[in-house]
């Protein structure tokens, strides 16, 4: 073995402090869990979510509040509650809240099992990076809280690791834990976890399936932040599940599947060919079967699922049409590129994907999104540009809205635009502009990620 890999797994260390006190998780915002994004998905599917600006929000396992403190600052009428077991992280968050002078947010140290005993009601419940990393009894409590404490129009966002993707990654995790799982020093545990994986990669170099898996996972592990690797790969609890089992467990507590946090993650159309038709045949139109098949066909590892109370099920309509998007708002991170022959416009997004436009309605959609960025654009904004360009002057606003809606759905299914519930418009620049409070705090603390007002 190499010098970097020390010998034999050590005997179990004495009881240590809570792991998130030893290695705090970097607390930051997750846009996919933002109530405005979640509400937009609910509205897209025919529901009537509570407007975020007056919502009651609960985050379970909120770390230092990096995901919810910006919400409280952005929406003064929102009432926000964060629950976290780590005292170290709660104290960090309370210092930020005090510094910002926020009065509409409560952050407290508590066990999720204790929250189960409470009788509060929330319009949005967030559990990001928690469900798979807690014991089964706590997983059941999370689903129970969703069933008992969501309001009638409430929505829960839960992220979790899934099979079959994590079947392969578990091999890597178990190797790292066998070698270094009993080490008490977090830095040594991480160093030895990385070292044993790197050694396994070197002795399996080649074209074998296992060698390729090791090379791929080693690249991820070597680049990963310490806090992520420690809590995702080397934490005592990491309990992936199949999507079908997650949904079945939720149904015991009166919550049902609404969708994923982003429409593109539910779209078989993104695979092209006859895959959408094949999935429809295999699943017989059952959304749960479709989603499970897609997980199996794509080796999916991670989900960000939205749940609602079972009483909302009759109102869910996933047949997305131009009417579904008519009163939503949209953002995109597109930039113009050099046009190609026969194209009216070419655009790139931050991921390097290209949108080639060959007809005037899509051109107006893309140009409106760019003109409004980083703020939102509405269907009416796009119709206004079509009118300005005298595209389809014989059409009514309603027929233009249908055409715009069809193009927006295409972009949503490709993941090139994001939907928003509320409209965010540019504001006039004053003589004394101020940075967004949570962003200033995050920057002053040297955090890698800072929140914004979007």
Instruction: Return the CATH number at 307.
Output: 3.40.50.150
pLDDT band at 14 (very low <50, low <70, confident <90, very high): very low
Evaluate whether residue 367 is within a structural domain: yes
Evaluate whether residue 355 is within a structural domain: yes
Query: Do residue 182 and residue 82 come from a single domain?
Result: yes
Grouping H, G, I as helix, E, B as strand and the rest as coil, residue 43 is: helix
In angstroms, what CA-CA distances link 344 with 22, 144, 338? 56, 52, 10
In the chain, what percentage of residues exceed pLDDT 90? 71
- Looking only at the bridges linking them, the beta strands covering 79-84 and 56-60 are parallel
Number of domains in the chain: 2
Half-sphere exposure of residue 178: CA atoms within 13 angstroms, side-chain side: 8
Evaluate whether residue 11 is within a structural domain: yes
pLDDT score at 153: 98
pLDDT score at 442: 74
Query: Do residue 188 and residue 100 come from a single domain?
Result: yes
Q: Which helix (H) or strand (E) holds 122?
A: strand 122-127
Evaluate whether residue 425 is within a structural domain: no
Evaluate whether residue 179 is within a structural domain: yes
Evaluate whether residue 110 is within a structural domain: yes
pLDDT band at 189 (very low <50, low <70, confident <90, very high): very high
Query: Do residue 9 and residue 100 come from a single domain?
Result: yes
Comparing 21-25, 116-120, 311-315, 421-425, the range with the smallest average pLDDT is 21-25
Q: Decide: 357 and 344 in contact? Cβ < 8 Å.
A: yes
In angstroms, what CA-CA distances link 136 with 130, 133, 141, 150? 12, 9, 9, 21
Evaluate whether residue 403 is within a structural domain: yes
Query: Do residue 336 and residue 209 come from a single domain?
Result: no
Q: Calculate the CA 387 to chain-centre distance.
A: 36
pLDDT score at 427: 66
In angstroms, what CA-CA distances link 74 with 29, 79, 254, 386, 439? 13, 11, 31, 33, 11
19: pLDDT strictly greater than 80: no
User: Which two three-digit tokens encode residue 27?
Assistant: 């607390």
Query: Do residue 147 and residue 193 come from a single domain?
Result: yes
40: pLDDT strictly greater than 60: yes
Handedness of CA 38, 149, 160, 285 (dihedral sign): negative
Query: Do residue 302 and residue 352 come from a single domain?
Result: no
Matching residue, tokens 């194209």: 343
Q: Decide: 349 and 194 in contact? Cβ < 8 Å.
A: no
Distance, CA of 129 to CA of 227 (rounded, Å): 12
- In this predicted model, which residue has the larger pLDDT, 342 or 125? 125
pLDDT band at 10 (very low <50, low <70, confident <90, very high): very low
How many degrees, rounded to 5, is the angle at CA 416 between CA 414 and CA 417? 115
Distance, CA of 136 to CA of 239 (rounded, Å): 8
Q: Which helix (H) or strand (E) holds 329?
A: strand 329-331
The stretch 83-90 carries a mean pLDDT of: 93
59: pLDDT strictly greater than 50: yes
pLDDT score at 234: 85
pLDDT band at 272 (very low <50, low <70, confident <90, very high): confident
Query: Do residue 82 and residue 116 come from a single domain?
Result: yes
User: Which two three-digit tokens encode residue 137?
Assistant: 């009894």
Task: Look up the domain containing 389 and give its range.
Answer: 329-420
Evaluate whether residue 430 is within a structural domain: no
Distance, CA of 298 to CA of 291 (rounded, Å): 11
Grouping H, G, I as helix, E, B as strand and the rest as coil, residue 164 is: coil
Query: Do residue 197 and residue 337 come from a single domain?
Result: no
Query: Do residue 236 and residue 360 come from a single domain?
Result: no
Query: Do residue 384 and residue 288 come from a single domain?
Result: no
pLDDT score at 16: 46
pLDDT score at 226: 87
pLDDT band at 12 (very low <50, low <70, confident <90, very high): very low
Query: Do residue 233 and residue 379 come from a single domain?
Result: no
pLDDT score at 429: 66
Distance, CA of 246 to CA of 305 (rounded, Å): 10
Grouping H, G, I as helix, E, B as strand and the rest as coil, residue 125 is: strand
Query: Do residue 445 and residue 374 come from a single domain?
Result: no
326: pLDDT strictly greater than 90: yes
The sheet that has 418-420: what strands, in order across it?
377-378, 329-331, 418-420
How many helices (H) does the chain have, and how many strands (E)? 18, 13
């Amino acid at each position: 073995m190499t010098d970097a890999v020390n010998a034999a797994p050590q005997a179990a260390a004495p009881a240590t402090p809570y792991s998130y006190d030893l290695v705090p998780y970097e607390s930051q915002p997750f846009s996919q869990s933002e109530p405005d994004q979640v509400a937009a998905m609910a509205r897209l599917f025919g529901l009537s979510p509570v407007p975020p600006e007056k919502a009651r929000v609960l985050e379970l396992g909120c770390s230092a509040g990096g995901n919810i403190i910006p919400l409280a600052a952005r929406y003064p009428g929102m009432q926000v509650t964060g629950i976290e077991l780590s005292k170290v992280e709660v104290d960090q968050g309370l210092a930020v809240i005090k510094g910002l002078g926020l009065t509409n947010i409560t952050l407290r140290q508590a066990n999720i099992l204790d929250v189960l005993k409470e009788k509060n009601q929330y319009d949005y419940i967030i559990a990001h990076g928690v469900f798979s990393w807690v014991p089964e009894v706590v997983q059941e409590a999370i689903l129970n809280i969703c069933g008992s404490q969501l309001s009638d129009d409430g929505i829960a966002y839960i992220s979790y690791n899934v099979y079959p993707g994590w079947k392969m990654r578990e091999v890597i995790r178990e190797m790292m834990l066998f070698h270094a799982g009993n080490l008490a020093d977090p830095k040594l545990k991480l160093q030895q976890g990385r070292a044993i994986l790197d050694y396994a990669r070197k002795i399996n170099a080649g074209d074998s399936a296992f060698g390729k898996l090791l090379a791929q996972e080693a690249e991820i592990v070597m680049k990963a932040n310490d806090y992520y690797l420690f809590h995702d790969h080397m934490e005592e609890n990491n309990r992936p599940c199949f999507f079908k089992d997650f949904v079945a467990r939720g149904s015991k507590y009166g919550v049902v599947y609404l969708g994923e946090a982003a429409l593109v993650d539910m779209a078989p159309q993104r695979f092209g060919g006859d895959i959408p038709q094949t999935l429809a045949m295999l699943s017989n139109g059952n959304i749960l079967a479709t989603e499970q098949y897609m997980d199996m066909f794509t080796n999916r590892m991670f989900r960000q699922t939205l749940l609602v109370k079972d009483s909302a099920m009759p109102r869910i309509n996933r047949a997305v049409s131009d009417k579904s998007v008519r009163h939503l708002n949209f953002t995109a991170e597109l930039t113009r590129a050099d046009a190609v022959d026969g194209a009216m416009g070419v655009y790139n997004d931050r991921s390097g994907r290209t949108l080639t436009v060959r007809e005037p309605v899509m051109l107006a959609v893309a140009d409106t999104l760019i003109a409004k960025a980083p703020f939102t654009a509405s269907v009416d904004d796009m119709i206004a540009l079509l009118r300005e360009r005298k595209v389809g002057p014989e059409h009514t606003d309603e027929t233009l809205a249908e055409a715009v809606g069809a193009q927006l759905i295409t972009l949503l299914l490709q993941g090139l635009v994001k939907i928003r519930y509320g409209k965010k418009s540019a504001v006039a620049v004053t003589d004394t502009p101020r940075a967004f409070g949570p962003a200033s705090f995050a920057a002053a603390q040297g955090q890698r990620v800072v929140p914004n007002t979007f």
